[in-house]
A = this chain, B = another copy of it.
């Protein structure tokens, strides 16, 4: 297997794109990534597109072929992959595999979702396609309900408090204010969060990521082809994909996701690294409690300490392990199929040293994308070439 590098990244704003279609968002991000990589359309040998719910929400499938056609790519394999909220990370992994296995020398990854045109009820119903609807769906347990349950157990086991969890929200919302792509950056107080609407007790409004539109794209190439790239190429040390139980009842422990634990283990092994080597992480904070669980599952924060570390400022830019300097899903937004690709976009900016919320001397970055009730996960580790 050959070494692979990222040479191009592109992204739309995350947020509300009224009157624009899925295809237009995907094409904007892809064109930006192709320009950034300095590759011609002719050089792209495979396209992987991550999308979750364009079928139910927009009546549109075959997006990989549609986007390739609009971009004017050659007659190459164009594949949509789906793993709920991990669709983008899965698309990236397949592009990396296409290049590392020698199928082609350059591949394009696109993640895209359009959600804000639909009603809240339609969005909730579509998102529930990520559950195993033979059990969890009919039980009425939506995703806020799942993370509300997890919160209660985390609080009971580790004494996690409302204000500690709010520290995650305050940090990510503040990070989002610095990110020009972010949908909902904000300066929040503990009081504002405490007084916000209850969603699925103890989860309140600000604990939830917004409904978003957006697209992000990445160009990956064989490392020996990356030299002439206009911008700094970033090495891909690991890109792994795992699975977990589709059902809440299938998890040994609701405050830990097997898919994340395994993905992290595989990724550290593939990269020859350990958690202490990671300079920053973009992880899947669909809810504030998700960030807490993820950071522990990834081994970046001691078990049970996810919220406390946030409260102590250890997960801020400048802290022990900066988590979601982009603002994460909570503030940057969560256009589902685009999210995993957007995380990689942010990580590359950090490793190039040009992020608007830069982690000083960032050399190694991790991204973590989790789907459904922990059914699918991808973890990638990227490296600045001189790090």
Contact = CB atoms under 8 A, between A and B. Distances in A.
Contacts of A128: 59
Contacts of A133: 58-60
Interface in A28-63: 52-53, 55-56, 58-62
Contacts of A81: 79-82
A83 B64 contact: yes
Contacts of A58: 133
Interface string A206-250: 000000000000000000000000000000000011111111001
A141 to B, nearest CB: 15
Interface residues of A, number: 60
A107 interface: no
A131 B63 CA distance: 10
A80 B79 contact: no
A259 interface: yes
Given A78-B376, A243-B68, A62 B1 contact: no
Contacts of A123: none
Name which of A65, A94, A376 has the most chain B CB atoms within 10 A of its CB: A65
A128 to B, nearest CB: 7
A262 interface: yes
Interface stretch (A97-105, A270-278, A289-297): A97-105
Nearest to A61: B129
A76 interface: yes
A23 B135 CA distance: 12
Interface in A68-104: 68-69, 75-84, 90, 93-94, 97, 101-103
A202 interface: no
Nearest to A133: B60
Contacts of A243: 64-65, 68-69, 75-78
B83 A130 contact: no
Given A376-B62, A376-B65, A90 B97 contact: no
A335 interface: no
B56 A132 contact: no
A355 to B, nearest CB: 30
Interface string A1-20: 10000000000000000000
Interface in A133-154: 133-134, 137
Contacts of A282: none
A170 interface: no
Interface of A: 1, 21, 23, 52-53, 55-56, 58-62, 64-66, 68-69, 75-84, 90, 93-94, 97, 101-103, 125-126, 128-134, 137, 240-247, 250, 258-259, 262, 371-372, 375-376
Pairs A-B, 3 closest by C-beta atoms:
A101-B101, A55-B55, A65-B375
